[in-house]
A and B are shown apart, each in its own frame.
Chain A
Amino acid sequence: MRHRYPKAVAVFCVVLGLLAGLGTFTFGYGKGASYLSNDPNTCVNCHVMQSHLDSWQQSSHHHVAVCNDCHLPHDKIGKWVVKGENGFFHSLAFTLGGYSDPIEIKARNRRVTQSTCVDCHRDFVHSMLPATSNGDMQNCVHCHSDVGHAGHGRVDATRNR
């Protein structure tokens, strides 16, 4: 009997199937689904983030805010845009290596954290906010550096004796 499709199609289907299988396996093995969640443990899939998670757990905010609450914008679209962008660059950096360590926050991500601070604390700090939309203000974490990551990067002084 004559095949309805040429052999090449069969080969292609096999290759495609392999890709789909491998892709599904890799997605599962790399805990891909977790990146769609809000769970802070997702961030330590990448073990360079361990110290950041540890310090967050000791911080004053860990009862009220997870990683995404401070590091992603609070509007729906902005959240997924920044999540996607950071996700891409983080995996690129971690896969290829060569990033600075201690990690330095990018200027645009610092603007995100600043906006999330203000978003939650607006009622309290509104009198300190700039009068115009492009006005200048000090970063909240310039002084309140411990709120998100308690003592992260601080030297453990030997004064305990």
Chain B
Amino acid sequence: MSNSRSSSFGWLVLLTALTALATFGVVALLVNIFERKQEARAPFTRVVEVTEVSTDPKPWGLNFPQQYEDYLKTVDDEYTDYGGNHALPPSKLEESPWLKRLFNGYAFSIDYREARGHAHMLADQEVTKRVTEVQQSGACLHCHASIVATYRRIGLEKEGENADAKALANGFQQEAVMAGFREVSTKKYEEVHAEVEKTPDGMDVASGDPHMGGAHPVSCVDCHEPETMAIRVTRPGFILGIDKLAKSDAEVPHLPSVRAWREAGKKGNYDPNTMASRQEMRSFVCGQCHVEYYCANKMTLTYPWSNGLKMEDLEAEWDSTTFPDGGEFYDYVHKTTGTKVYKAQHPEFELWSQGIHARAGVSCSDCHMPFEKVGATKVSSHWVRSPMLNINKACQTCHKVPEDEIKARVDVIQDRTKALIDRAAAAMTEMLDAIIEVQENGASEDQLEPIRDLQRKAMWRLDYIASENSKGFHASQEAARILGESIDYSRQAIAMAYRLELKDEEAKPADSQSTETDADAEESESAEESEASNGE
């Protein structure tokens, strides 16, 4: 009796436990369904005021926690085959020793590493040997710091107007920003950095008291209007550059608002903030910095877009540019050859403009900041990174093919580009050797001039693709074309160097047979020979 009683009691306990477990599960499900339903509601609550002076991203993060969290993630991106983040990013100079010869005489030959994400960009600039060992210009902070409030402050001060935190918070004031930009553009890095530190990075809205928190890397206010959150461009360099582009006759099939502005009679200036479509803006915000520009202290920061966005359009602008002191334009004097050459920065916007994605209306943000669902909300990912780390959201929204297949396609493009870069680099270093050799053997400056032209063209083209951060993906055929031209110019320069009639005939390269005859195109056979033997 008592035995059966205790066994039925045991059963009851077991059943109760099972029922409790089931209840637990049902409640968990209920809560989950409740949460999912909550997610479907309006997600945005403005808990603090942000203004034009809020260069500190933290208060923005209170209003937009998801975007801020994403932004903070840009400090620890993974490393892809051709780019990405690292605690100590690998040195490009060690990976590709030819870069040291390419940049010989330029700060990039001292320290050149893989770039890290946005939240790192100011800190990394402050410690690079390019800045600590070489005097750099304040123009570098145009893109690396959240500097627009500083431009505005300096512009207002110059006009003798009030520039306290409240005045700075009071609208974008483009005139003042431009004035401040011109004022500091040719000053030294440290001076401008100190100016950024002096600008409030926030404000207590009620009292108007300034908050001083130091300098920040590019943050929310650089791409967003604080009142409406609309995306916008703030960088004076871009605003001036895109206006030049609009006023040119260059074909811009991928920029419908520029075409519309031209058709409407090119009235006034082209202003991206009022005229560009939202989809264009989703590229323009990136084009504020991911472009080619002149960034040193001889003249104001310049985006070379008055002829168009193709590589040779930019080159043509630099060819026709003179410094304010009247001297011919160059970025650096190549140390071992003495040739004045151009440094391509990182022409992502320009190369993208030549590619199929731009033509199809795909913006930078579509791949680098793809929309993702967070709960029921669609958020543009602010974890700006390589699409290869996020193929599902970045590529598969449009390309309905398996991830592996997409990755394989990109790999093919990038590996091919890398192989061409290596070939162009080999040609470039051989060209430098050839020029050094004929210089040592007494080539005159007159003789060298056409060779220097070829050298500048070859180096610019190689640098243009090597420093562009997509390894050819943004426009693969264009990248290959440019590298092909680079190889050709390097080889032409080598050929021309070995055809020179040098005074000291004995000192001529032994394998060059064209001693007495004219050293022109008809002698290309022997030139090719010498080039070939030089190649070994």
Give residues in A with beta carbon < 8 Å to B: 6, 8-9, 11-12, 15-16, 18-19, 22-23, 25-26, 29-30, 46-48, 50, 94-95, 100-102, 104, 145, 153-161
Contacts and interface: CB of A to CB of B under 8 A. Distances in A.
A25 B30 contact: yes
A101 B27 contact: no
B29 A155 contact: no
Interface in B1-43: 5, 9, 12-13, 15-16, 19-20, 22-23, 26-27, 29-30, 32-34, 36, 39-40
Nearest to A16: B19
18 contacts: A15-B16, A15-B23, A19-B22, A26-B30, A29-B33, A29-B34, A46-B36, A47-B39, A48-B376, A94-B36, A102-B392, A104-B396, A153-B398, A153-B400, A157-B361, A158-B256, A159-B256, A161-B260
B254 to A, nearest CB: 8
A50 B5 CA distance: 56
B282 to A, nearest CB: 10
Contact of A22 (B30, B32, B280): B30
Contacts, number: 91
Interface of B: 5, 9, 12-13, 15-16, 19-20, 22-23, 26-27, 29-30, 32-34, 36, 39-40, 254, 256-257, 259-260, 277, 279-280, 360-362, 366, 372-373, 376, 392-393, 396-398, 400
Contacts of B26: 19, 22-23, 26
Contact of A101 (B9, B33, B373): B373
Contacts of B360: 155, 157
A95 B30 CA distance: 11
B392 A100 contact: yes
B30 A156 contact: no
A107 to B, nearest CB: 11
B280 A158 contact: yes
A86 B360 CA distance: 35
Contact of B15 (A12, A100, A156): A12
Contacts of A6: 5, 9, 12
Nearest to A154: B398
A102 B395 CA distance: 10
A156 to B, nearest CB: 7
Nearest to A91: B29
B376 A102 contact: no
A120 B15 CA distance: 50
Nearest to A9: B12
Contacts of A25: 30
